[in-house]
């Protein structure tokens, strides 16, 4: 992928705030059309291939078949997710841009803490999420000026105030777009079924929210849809740090030690992104 060469199409707070107000009561297709018009090929849909991401890919592709889609491939995703990426490619002709974690950092982390470090301690889980998700996302976003995420306000308390257009200060001021912010889960599924959109097979096996294989399980009837994410943890946010900064004072020094001299080429400084 090409490095940043052109002038970036960033917005200031005032512009973004005005756009957020203007688009707040608009449907996802109108928000996507605005973003495509504004950012062109500097826009990317970031998808982990959950239902929301699949719906957004379909909506955006209908507006612009050349829409860019990217994903953070943590290396621990379920096989069903990889199969879905292929099905999306077959249906839409979209080659998902894959951003992987830095090999050296992963090697150091799993050598020191083991492959399944996340089950032992919240801070080790957050460390793994930083290495496998947050740092690759930071690198990915150097290739975009606007990124689209499938966040919805009713998914979790930390998401209840998201705006459809925001400046993403954790990632150099790129513009973050959440066209589905005010949609419900039912509306997403209605759209998927009405348009025959490929979706992850795990939804049919009791998984209402899908992340990495070892950190996601099916939920029981009546449980919160995100209860299957990091289900062994109590009191920790059901977030990985990609969509909101997490600071615990526990994993940061370990991350800084792992990054060491590798930090520069990752675009990171050891702080949470
Ligand atoms: S979800 Fe689990 S396996 Fe995936 S990056 Fe986070 S801790 Fe690691």
Determine the residue of 73, 132, 216, 231 to mutate for testing ligand 1's pocket, defined as the one with the most ligand atoms within 8 A of the Cβ atom: 132
Torsion of CA 155, 181, 42, 194, to 10 degrees: 90
The domain in which residue 23 lies consists of 13-265
pLDDT of residue 241: 77
Ligand 1 neighbourhood includes 230 CB (under 6 angstroms) = no
What CATH number is given to the structural domain containing 143?
Answer: 3.40.50.620
Ligand 1 neighbourhood includes 243 CB (under 6 angstroms) = no
Residue 216 alpha carbon, nearest atom of ligand 1? 1
- Tell me, yes or no, whether 4 lies in a domain: no
Ligand 1 neighbourhood includes 212 CB (under 6 angstroms) = yes
pLDDT of residue 268: 43
Domain tally, the chain: 1
Ligand 1 neighbourhood includes 128 CB (under 6 angstroms) = yes
Cβ-Cβ contacts under 8 Å for 77 (sequence gap 6 or more): 211, 212, 213
pLDDT of residue 4: 53
Tokens of 131: 């290495």
Residue 211 alpha carbon, nearest atom of ligand 1? 1
Q: How many angstroms separate the CA atoms of 173 and 204, rounded?
A: 38
pTM (2 decimals)? 0.89
Ligand 1 neighbourhood includes 32 CB (under 6 angstroms) = no
**Catalytic site positions:** 240
* Ligand 1 midpoint to CA 232 (Å): 13
| Closest C-alpha to ligand 1, atom 4 | 212
- Tell me, yes or no, whether 231 lies in a domain: yes
- Tell me, yes or no, whether 22 lies in a domain: yes
Residue 126 alpha carbon, nearest atom of ligand 1? 7
Ligand 1 neighbourhood includes 215 CB (under 6 angstroms) = yes
3-state secondary structure of 175: strand
pLDDT of residue 246: 67
Contact call for residues 194 and 46 (beta carbons, < 8 A): no
pLDDT of residue 2: 47
Ligand 1 neighbourhood includes 214 CB (under 6 angstroms) = yes
Residues with pLDDT less than 50, the chain:
2-3, 264, 267-273
Q: For residue 47, which of 268, 199, 214 has the smallest C-alpha distance?
A: 199
- Tell me, yes or no, whether 271 lies in a domain: no
125-160 confidence digits (pLDDT tens): 999 999 999 999 999 999 999 999 999 998 777 777
Place of tokens 């470090």: 117
Q: For residue 75, which of 52, 45, 105 has the smallest C-alpha distance?
A: 105
Return the H-helix or E-strand segment holding 257. Answer: helix 252-259
Determine the residue of 210, 214, 255 to mutate for testing ligand 1's pocket, defined as the one with the most ligand atoms within 8 A of the Cβ atom: 214
- Give the Å distances, CA to CA, from 253 to 80, 145, 215, 236: 35, 30, 23, 19
- Tell me, yes or no, whether 8 lies in a domain: no
Q: First vs last Cα of the chain: how many Å apart?
A: 22
- Tell me, yes or no, whether 137 lies in a domain: yes
């Amino acid at each position: 992928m090409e490095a940043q060469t052109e002038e970036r199409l960033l917005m200031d707070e005032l512009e973004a705030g005005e756009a957020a107000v203007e688009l707040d009561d608009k449907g996802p297709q109108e928000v996507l059309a605005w973003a495509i018009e504004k950012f062109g090929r500097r826009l990317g849909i970031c998808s982990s291939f959950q239902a929301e991401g699949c719906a957004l890919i379909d909506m955006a592709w209908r507006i612009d078949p050349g829409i860019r889609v990217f994903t953070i491939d943590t290396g621990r995703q379920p096989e069903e997710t990889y199969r879905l990426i292929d099905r999306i490619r077959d249906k839409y002709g979209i080659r998902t841009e894959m951003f992987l974690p830095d090999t050296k950092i992963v090697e150091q982390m799993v050598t020191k803490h083991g492959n399944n470090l996340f089950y032992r301690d919240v801070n080790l889980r957050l460390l793994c999420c930083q290495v496998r998700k947050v740092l690759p996302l930071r690198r990915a976003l150097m290739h975009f000026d606007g990124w689209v995420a499938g966040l919805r306000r009713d998914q979790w308390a930390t998401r209840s105030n998201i705006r459809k257009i925001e400046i993403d200060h954790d990632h150099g001021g790129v513009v973050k777009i959440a066209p589905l912010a005010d949609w419900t889960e039912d509306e997403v599924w209605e759209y998927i079924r009405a348009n025959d959109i490929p979706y992850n097979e795990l939804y049919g096996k009791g998984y209402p929210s899908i992340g990495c294989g070892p950190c996601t399980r099916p939920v029981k009837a009546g449980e919160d849809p995100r209860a299957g994410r990091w289900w062994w943890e109590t009191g920790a946010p059901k977030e990985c740090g990609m969509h909101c900064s997490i600071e615990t004072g526990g994993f940061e020094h370990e991350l800084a030690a792992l990054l060491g001299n590798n930090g520069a080429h990752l675009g990171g400084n050891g702080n949470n992104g």
